[in-house]
Amino acid sequence: MGLPENDKINIVNKYRKGKKNLITDVPGVKVGHVTLRSSDKNIHTGVTAVVPAEGNLFKEKVAAGVAVLNGFGKSAGLIQVKELGTIEAPLVLTNTFSVGRALDALIKYMLEQNEDIGVSTGTVNCLALECNDGELNDIRGMHVTEAHVREAIDTASEDFDEGDTGAGTGMICMELKGGIGSASRTVPLGGKEYTLGALVLSNFGVAGNLRIDGVRIPAKAVNTEEGDKGSTIIIIGTDIPMDSRQLERTASRAAASLGRVGSFMGTGSGDIAVAFSNGNRIKHYGDDFTELKTISESTVDKVFEMAVESVEEAIISSLYHAHSVTGIRNKKVDCLKDVY
């Protein structure tokens, strides 16, 4: 199977791709990276920030749902999202040992934006999501700082790179160089066009299992003793009005995407999906009742299918845009384009 020479790898799709074929095709969504790379110091890590909507996220939250597909992970903030069904701050993706610093930076950022937090109202729930990049990166060095996290948030935009960048700098997927990937789909509903997009941090799977568009891609060498480990973080965003229950159901469909590319979500892989809709904003200071518009249950299958398509392509795109690298302990990982 040959790889395309254009900027995005082609996956057969039922729904039309967005203009950029990125999660930022969803109006209001922005993504920012900070990449830390130093071969001399064995540093291959970084930060990726996802801003789910414009405006003050604490005062006008977005509806959200979480699906923990396999819970071998150390992400923070998921419990409250699952309980209350909202996201009220940017999401930060990084390596496992940088979750604490990501949380500190997020909290300080939100305190700057909202003088009432922790004073006249409650605290803030921030999401710091992680994968282990320790096979390529000096993870014990804890090189990500609060300033790096803040820079990723402050520089978030509609245009961003894919592959071994940001949080994806040190990630490995099916023994190929993994990283950040994204894709989007559009659909007309009720006379208006809506968009759903996905962003993936790929760091999962075993060599020899990769499938692209249903075709198995053979590996040069397969270590049968090596298990499925490393994790993946999947972010699904849309402007389709949905409630938290529908978004949790949408997030759970990411499992179908993982299966399509050859993952079986092994015991050592933390596979977590978060879905949000900025088509519904929930006011922090509201009246006794809040009116929410939601997609009909008779139509929601379209959202599920768009999500599966987008996540599948985002995973393959993360591989397609990555580069071969030699990391700590002389670990060499080839990229998809160099191998096939």
Q: For the residues of 59-70, what is the DSSP string, one character each?
A: TEEEEEEEEEEE
Does the annotation mark 317 as catalytic?
no
Q: Is 269 a catalytic residue?
A: yes
Helix (H) / strand (E) containing 304: helix 300-320
The Cα 244–Cα 222 span in angstroms is 41
- Asked if 104 and 204 touch (Cβ cutoff 8 Å), the reply is no
Report CA-CA distances (Å) from 151 to 99, 102, 166, 168, 340.
Answer: 16, 11, 11, 16, 35
Q: How many CB atoms lie within 10 A of CB 185?
A: 27
Active site annotation includes 104: no
Of 133, 164, 239, 271, which one is the catalytic site residue? 271
- Cα separation, 8 vs 20, in Å, equals 10
Q: First CA to last CA across the chain, in angstroms?
A: 8
The active-site residue, picked from 231, 244, 277, 310, is 231
C-alpha distances (whole Å) from 8 to each of 49, 81, 156 are 22, 32, 21
Q: How many residues does the chain have?
A: 340
Single out the catalytic residue among 244, 257, 269, 277. 269
Buried/exposed 288-302: b ≥16 CB within 10 Å, e otherwise = eeeeeebbeeeebeb
Output the CA angle 208-22-321, nearest 5 degrees.
40
Could you give the residue numbers annotated as active site?
231, 269, 271
